[in-house]
Amino acid sequence: MCEVADTSKPRRIAIIGSGNWGSAIARIIGTNTLKNGKFDSTVQMYVFEEIIDGQKLSEIINTKHENVKYLPGFSIPPNVVANPDIVDAGKDADIFVFVLPHKFVRAACQPLVGKIKPTAIGLSLIKGFDITPGGGIELISNVINKLLNIDMAVLMGANLAGEVAAEKFCETTIGCKDKEAGKLLKELIQTDYFRVVVVDDINTIEICGALKNIVACGAGFVDGLGYGDNTKAAVIRLGLMEMIKFADVFYPGSKLSTFFESCGVADLITTCYGGRNRKVAEAFVKTGKKIEELENEMLNGQRMQGPQTAEEVHIMLKNKGMEERFPLFTAIHQICQGNLPPTQMINCIKNHPEHV
Ligand SMILES: NC(=O)C1=CN([C@@H]2O[C@H](COP(=O)(O)OP(=O)(O)OC[C@H]3O[C@@H](n4cnc5c(N)ncnc54)[C@H](O)[C@@H]3O)[C@@H](O)[C@H]2O)C=CC1
Ligand SMILES: O=C(CO)COP(=O)(O)O
């Protein structure tokens, strides 16, 4: 028999991940759970353990109440408890907030299988795809749903973590099918500077979050080549057209209106101007170094998702013989791989099928 959540008790929250965005969202969740009786005020936060200057990161967070590596300079409320044991962090949770770089999701969540409340729900903040054994792509929320057998919602938006941590106004989009769960998640996340719109078009929200990171690499390439804002705007526009086409072709039923939520155009713009993908892609052109080397040099352990997402998309497009229908995504992947010189980015946008 299906178990039903006991709504008389405050819901317990477990945040799975504690990087740049994980730590920023922990500030919001920690603050909101203290103020709202629907939530237990002790929040568990799973930390992938590492040693910083001889001390465990989880211990630093629990004593200094700051993630000194991934979000330095911002406090994390003391009711957020860093926990390096993911099973212990998740054992009583009613709501899981997943916020890991996408390539770590499967391995990190595996220990949770069979160890969580059957009534728990999940909210994924993770931008990226997974590759299926048949060479297709899978949404990360579906990966988690299949692995842990829990209902999933998603949250994506124009949310550069540093700006959110600094409490600069922004918007975000939650995708949730269940109206009551959507309301509850909004109460967990919304603040006066972080405004939430809930819609039910989950797949499109997640597609937007993943694909905009590819486009941001293209924006970084044209910045690195010394082109101007008009050129970057063309990359953004053509990228948006490919994002819409991608949703149409592979996720029929996607709503165009979702692209006008924060998860769509707004996230595309902010990432193409202020994100890590853009920054590293610009340096890739200017230095000629490999992406991975620059990521290690420039991001202090943080991860950019664009090149890997471009590869995931490319594997699927190639399998389906559809690379030519998505020339921008394809060119960005080939440039990231070193198979095309970055200057080819300009040929790609000059000859884009949108102009024919
Ligand atoms: N940083 C940002 O501004 C935003 C990020 N996102 C998305 O949120 C997700 C998480 O990103 P961030 O929190 O920024 O992470 P991050 O880029 O700071 O990544 C580093 C995190 O990965 C962890 N890690 C390293 N190796 C690991 C392993 N083997 N297993 C598990 N964890 C490991 C590190 O401990 C650290 O917490 C990504 O999908 C990203 O696209 C979404 C919105 C904003
Ligand atoms: O997703 C983001 C902003 O919404 C962060 O983008 P970057 O990963 O490029 O920094």
Q: Does the complex come out with an ipTM higher than 0.95?
A: yes
Residues 6+ apart with CB under 8 A from 347: none
Confidence band, pLDDT 50/70/90 cuts, at residue 4? low
Whether 305 contacts 213, CB under 8 Å: yes
**What residues flank ligand 2, with Cβ below 6 Å?**
127, 158-160, 213, 216, 267, 270-271, 275-277, 304-305
Q: Count CB-CB contacts under 10 A for residue 86.
A: 21
- What the block records as the tokens of 230 is 């008009």
Q: How far is CA 26 from CA 106, 120, 124, in A?
A: 22, 19, 14
Confidence band, pLDDT 50/70/90 cuts, at residue 1? very low
Ligand 2 atom nearest the C-alpha of 304 is 8
Q: The whole model's pTM is what? A: 0.98
Answer yes or no: is the C-beta of 27 below 6 A from any ligand 1 atom. Answer: no
Ligand 1 atom nearest the C-alpha of 302 is 17
Helix (H, G, I), strand (E, B) or coil at 46: strand
Please, what is the average pLDDT of the chain? 97
Least reliable range by pLDDT among 5-14, 114-123, 258-267, 307-316? 5-14
Q: Count CB-CB contacts under 10 A for residue 140.
A: 25
Q: Which of 20, 194, 271 to mutate to test the pocket of ligand 2 (most atoms within 8 A of CB)?
A: 271
Q: What is the Cα–Cα distance from 49 to 346, expressed in whole angstroms?
A: 42
Confidence band, pLDDT 50/70/90 cuts, at residue 6? confident
Helix (H, G, I), strand (E, B) or coil at 130: strand
Confidence band, pLDDT 50/70/90 cuts, at residue 8? confident
Tens of pLDDT, residues 179-223: 999 999 999 999 999 999 999 999 999 999 999 999 999 999 999
Our answer to whether residue 91 is catalytic in this structure is no
Output the CA 268–ligand 2 centroid distance in Å: 9
Ligand 1 atom nearest the C-alpha of 102 is 39
| % pLDDT > 90, the chain | 97
Q: Which ligand has the shortest distance to the CA of 304?
A: 2
Catalytic: which of 69, 127, 212, 232?
212
Answer yes or no: is the C-beta of 69 below 6 A from any ligand 1 atom. Answer: no
Answer yes or no: is the C-beta of 124 below 6 A from any ligand 1 atom. Answer: no
- What the block records as the tokens of 354 is 């949108």
Residues 6+ apart with CB under 8 A from 195: 169, 170, 171, 172
Strand duo 137-139 + 129-131: pairing: antiparallel
HEC profile of 284-311: HHHHCCCHHHHHHHHCCCCCCCHHHHHH
- What the block records as the tokens of 260 is 């006008």
Q: What is the Cα–Cα distance from 234 to 242, expressed in whole angstroms?
A: 12
Output the CA 267–ligand 2 centroid distance in Å: 8
Confidence band, pLDDT 50/70/90 cuts, at residue 3? low
Helices of type H across the chain: 20-35, 57-64, 86-90, 105-109, 140-148, 161-165, 179-189, 202-224, 229-250, 267-274, 276-287, 291-298, 306-319, 327-336, 344-350
Q: What is the Cα–Cα distance from 304 to 270, expressed in whole angstroms?
A: 15
Residue 2, pLDDT > 80, answer: no
Answer yes or no: is the C-beta of 104 below 6 A from any ligand 1 atom. Answer: yes
> Regarding predicted confidence, which is higher, 6 or 222?
222
Q: Which of 23, 71, 277 to mutate to test the pocket of ligand 2 (most atoms within 8 A of CB)?
A: 277
Q: Tokens 């903040």 belong to which residue?
A: 125
| % pLDDT > 70, the chain | 99
Output the CA 269–ligand 2 centroid distance in Å: 10
pLDDT average, residue stretch 238-257: 97
Strand duo 194-199 + 170-175: pairing: parallel
Answer yes or no: is the C-beta of 175 below 6 A from any ligand 1 atom. Answer: no
The torsion defined by the Cα of 269, 322, 135 and 152, in degrees rounded to 10, comes to 40
